Structure 1
C-alpha cells in the first residue's frame, strides 16, 4: 500500500491508508481544494493534512466532503478547522448517534490485531475524537465551486447506508463513491445497509460514468465503470435471492442457512444483508388490491 497522495485523474488525488484500508480523496482547483473523507480520528485527519502539505505547501483545503456517516470516513473532520464540511442530510441527522454506537462497540471489544488492520492505539484515538458534524447538508445534490472546476455531490438513494453520496468531478471524468463500492473486500452489508435499494442506487450513479471514468471506492484501488456495473449486478443478485426466499415463505433462519450458487459472496458474509432485506420486506405496507 503506497503512502501519500497519487494523482488518478487531472488534479484528482487519492491516498490509501492502512487503518481500515480507507481511501481519502483530494481535488484541486483554482480557488482551493476539496478533501473527500477524513479517516477515523482527529490525529489521522492531521496526518492527512501533513500528506497534503507534502504534496504542495500552498494547497488550501476549503472544503471537506463525507461520502457517508461511518467513523472511518468522518472522525478526521475535526482536524480540518479551516474547511466547510459537507454531507447528505441523513449524515447530519445520524452522525452523533452513529459515533456513540461505534465508540460503545470499541469499548466493549477493541478487537485490534494485524488481521483487523488497526491497533489498540488507533482505537484509543477513535475514542478520544470529538465528532464534528457537517456544516452544510443537502437532500439530493449540491455543488462546490472551485473557480475553474465544479465538484458535484449527489444522492441517488440508499445503499451501504441511507446517506451515501457520489462525488463527481466532471471535467476530470472522476467520481468518488465511498462504500457504495469496495475493491479490496466484498461490499459491506452492515446493520444500517439497504440491500434492496443498493442496486438501483448504483444504477443511478452509473449514469454519470463512461468507459474512461475513474471511480474511487471507499476501500481499495481505483476502478472503472465496468467494475461498478459488475458489483451492482452482484448486489442485485443478493437482492433477488432475498426477495425470492422471503416471497416463497421461507423463514429467515432457513434463508440464512441454505446455499445458492447464484450468490456472488459467501453466505456467512450476507447475514446482515438477509436480515436487513427481511426487515424491509416484512415492514413494507401491503400493496393495494
Structure 2
C-alpha cells in the first residue's frame, strides 16, 4: 500500500502546552506541530508565529489571555511558510514584522507554498475558509531591528540562511531567551525543502553564541537549560546527516531515488521516531540533491511538483 502523502494521514488532534520559559515569556507547543511564542512587555504583547489558520491562532490567543489582558501589538513571522503565517488575521491589526528576504519570498512563492502546504497538512488547515489571503508584513528589516514593549527590549535579527533564506530569530536580552523559528527543532524533523544545508551549521553557531538560557524552537518542546545545547547539536546532526549521503550520491551522478536510499541508511536509525520525519524526508532529499548539484536558490514547491516527487520517491 502506498504511503499517505506527507501528513495527509495525520488527522489526530495534538495536545497543546503553554510553557513559561522566562519571566513573561512563553512557548505554545503542540506535539510536533508548529510552535508559537509569546513575549509580554509592560505595555503590550508580541506574538512569534501566527499559526496556519485563525482557528489555530485563537488557541494561542486563549493561552495569552490566561496570563495577561495586555493588547497584542506585534506579530513577528520568522519566515514565509503558510503553516506559520496564515492565521495572522486572528490577532486583530498588530504590526506584522518579517525580514526583507522573507517578504520577497511571499512575493515569489507565497501562493504556491499555500497551495502546496494545504495538501501536505490538511489537519492544520481545518477552518481555512477564514483565511483572508496571503499574509503581508507591515514592517520589514534587512539585518536587525529592535522593538520596545514598554521597557522590555526585543531584538529581531537574521542570523543566516538555514530553514529558508529569510529566517529571523528573536532575542529577549533581559531574560536571555531566544525564539528561533525552524532554525532549531527538538525531537522533530527539520523541514529542509526550502533550506540551505551549507549555511545551516554556521547559523546554529550564531544562535549558540548568544548562550540562551531557554529557546522556543520551531517544533517540539520548549528548551530550558541543558536541553538548549542538546537541541542545537541534534539539529546540526540532522541537517548534516541528511546532506552528506545525498551529496555523495549526487557527486557520482546517482539518481534522486538512490539519494533517498542513502539518506535513509544514515538518518533512519537516528531520527525515525522524530515528529514529521517521514513527512519531511522526501522534500529534504530533493532539496539536498539540488544543492549538492549547485542549485543555490531552492526551487519553488507547487502542489503538482509535490505529488510528482512523492510518487517518484515512494514508488
The TM-score normalised by the length of structure 2 is 0.75
CA distance in 1, matches of 2:252, 2:143: 35
- 2:162 pairs, out of 140, 159, 171, with 159
SS in 2 for 1:225: helix
Aligned pairs, number: 272
SS in 1 for 2:258: helix
Report the equivalent of 2:85. Answer: 74
Deviation at 1:9, TM superposition (A): 0.9
Q: Deviations over 1:221-279 (max 9, x none)?
A: 01212321232133223333333333344444432233675444459753333322232
Q: Which 10-residue stretch deviates more, 77-86 or 3-12?
A: 3-12
Report the equivalent of 1:44. Answer: 56
Report the equivalent of 2:75. Answer: 64
Cα distance, 1:142–1:46 mapped onto 2, change above 3 Å: same
Report the equivalent of 1:95. Answer: 106
Deviation at 1:182, TM superposition (A): 2.1
Report the equivalent of 2:235. Answer: 231
Deviation at 1:28, TM superposition (A): 1.2
SS in 2 for 1:276: helix
Kept after mapping to 2: 8 A contact 1:65/1:86: yes
2:136 aligned with 1:133, yes or no? yes
Q: Deviations over 1:173-198 (max 9, x none)?
A: 211111122224211122x2222322
SS in 1 for 2:87: helix
CA distance in 1, matches of 2:141, 2:205: 21
Matches within 5 A, 1:212-251: 213-223=213-223, 224-251=228-255
Matches within 5 A, 1:110-121: 112=122, 118=123
Report the equivalent of 1:31. Answer: 43
Deviation at 1:157, TM superposition (A): 1.8
CA distance in 2, matches of 1:234, 1:253: 19
Unaligned runs of 5+ in 1: 113-117
Q: Deviations over 1:71-116 (max 9, x none)?
A: 2211121223331111111221122554422443367x4864xxxx
SS in 2 for 1:163: coil
2:149 aligned with 1:146, yes or no? yes
The TM-score normalised by the length of structure 1 is 0.81
SS in 2 for 1:27: strand
SS in 2 for 1:182: coil
Deviation at 1:17, TM superposition (A): 4.4
Kept after mapping to 2: 8 A contact 1:195/1:235: yes
CA distance in 1, matches of 2:51, 2:34: 7
Q: Deviations over 1:108-152 (max 9, x none)?
A: x4864xxxxx27xx4342674323311111122111122322111
Superposition RMSD on alpha carbons, in Å?
Answer: 2.9
Report the equivalent of 1:115. Answer: none
Q: Which 10-residue stretch deviates more, 155-164 or 125-134?
A: 125-134
SS in 2 for 1:172: coil
CA distance in 1, matches of 2:205, 2:129: 34
